[in-house]
């Protein structure tokens, strides 16, 4: 599906940036959304320097109006929507008994409510078009439990079961939804942990491959699901985790 029009949430850095650049390399027109405009502009410039097409659209996935505008602007600019990559997400580490409601709500509003709001906008367009794909960035932490991460694990578990349910709804009108569940991928989200040698080694001991993944390894799988996977593949979650969820 070259020339596909793709919206990537959280495209200014980390996994989202890498996914956006990978899709653009395959000929997709990429709408870069997120809150930090300077970061999005940097990604756009890199894509354009490589001969690709990208549009910057500031968006906060916690704000329904901002999300509605993102999809309206995408259609205005490119005339259609083919793929949504729900990547924007946050993580915090706090023991459940010490967590306040604001932290819980921030995680769920970003990782789950934001996913719902974006998917609803995209899904209405996919229903009208009779085609379309969404790929959700879940996490291995949605497949297993981890102390200190109850809110994040619960939110990513929700992403995985949302994916199954919506895939079953969308299959009736010819659209697909799948998820990827990354294990540890070296990005800003875990920079603090990696700076602590003891914590880093402890994490590596839990990964059979004994290393973290790269954003490129994940972007390859997302790009396949977005542009090349068969329509019959839907509702699935593919772990890209060096074996972490297999032990
Ligand atoms: P980063 O922290 O590097 O990037 C997160 C991205 O999400 C940023 O671009 C950020 O942009 C955006 N974002 C956060 N909140 C919002 C918001 N309210 N509205 C719009 N955009 C937002 O993390 P990663 O690249 O590592 O993470 C990407 C996804 O992958 C997340 O869903 C994460 O949970 C998941 N993941 C990551 C793993 C890892 O080890 N790296 C492992 C498993 C899953 P800005 O702040 O500018 O808005």
CATH number at residue 190: 3.40.50.720
Domain membership flag for residue 120? yes
Check pocket membership of 184 for ligand 1, CB cut-off 6 A: yes
Domain membership flag for residue 118? yes
Ligand 1 centroid from CA 7, angstroms: 15
Domain membership flag for residue 247? no
Domain membership flag for residue 246? no
Domain membership flag for residue 82? yes
Query: Whose C-alpha lies nearest to ligand 1, atom 33?
Result: 89
Q: Which two tokens stand for residue 40?
A: 């999005």
> Per the structure, how many domains does the chain have?
1
Domain membership flag for residue 198? yes
The pTM for the full model equals 0.98
Check pocket membership of 150 for ligand 1, CB cut-off 6 A: no
Check pocket membership of 106 for ligand 1, CB cut-off 6 A: no
Q: Which residue has the tokens 């085609």?
A: 131
Domain membership flag for residue 64? yes
Q: How many CA atoms lie within 13 A of 138 on its CB side?
A: 31
Confidence of residue 41 (pLDDT cuts 50, 70, 90): very high
Query: 226: which DSSP letter?
Result: I
Domain membership flag for residue 177? yes
Confidence of residue 1 (pLDDT cuts 50, 70, 90): low
H or E stretch at 54: strand 53-58
Counting atoms of ligand 1 from 1, which one is nearest the CA of 185? 40
Predicted complex: ipTM over 0.85: yes
Could you list the residue range(s) of the whole structural domain that residue 83 is in? 5-239
Would you state the pLDDT for residue 244?
97
Q: Which two tokens stand for residue 192?
A: 């603090």
């Amino acid at each position: 599906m070259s020339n596909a029009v793709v919206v990537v949430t959280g495209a200014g850095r980390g996994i989202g940036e890498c996914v956006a650049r990978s899709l653009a390399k395959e000929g997709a027109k990429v709408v870069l959304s997120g809150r930090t405009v300077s970061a999005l502009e940097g990604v756009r410039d890199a894509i354009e320097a490589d001969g690709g097409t990208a549009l910057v659209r500031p968006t906060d996935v916690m704000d329904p109006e901002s999300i509605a505008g993102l999809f309206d602007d995408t259609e205005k600019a490119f005339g259609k929507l083919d793929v949504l990559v729900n990547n924007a997400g946050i993580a915090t580490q706090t023991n459940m008994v010490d967590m306040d409601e604001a932290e819980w709500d921030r995680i769920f509003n970003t990782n789950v409510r934001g996913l719902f709001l974006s998917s609803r906008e995209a899904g209405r367009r996919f229903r009208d078009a009779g085609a379309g794909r969404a790929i959700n960035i879940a996490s291995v932490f949605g497949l297993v439990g981890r102390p200190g991460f109850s809110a994040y694990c619960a939110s990513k578990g929700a992403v995985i079961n949302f994916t199954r349910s919506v895939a079953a709804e969308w299959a009736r009108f010819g659209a697909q939804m799948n998820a990827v569940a990354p294990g540890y991928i070296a990005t800003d989200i875990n920079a603090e942990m990696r700076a602590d040698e003891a914590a880093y080694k402890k994490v590596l001991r839990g990964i059979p491959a004994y290393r973290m993944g790269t954003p490129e390894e994940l972007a390859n799988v997302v790009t396949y699901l977005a542009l090349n996977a068969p329509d019959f593949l839907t509702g699935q979650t593919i772990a890209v985790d060096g074996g972490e969820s297999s032990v």
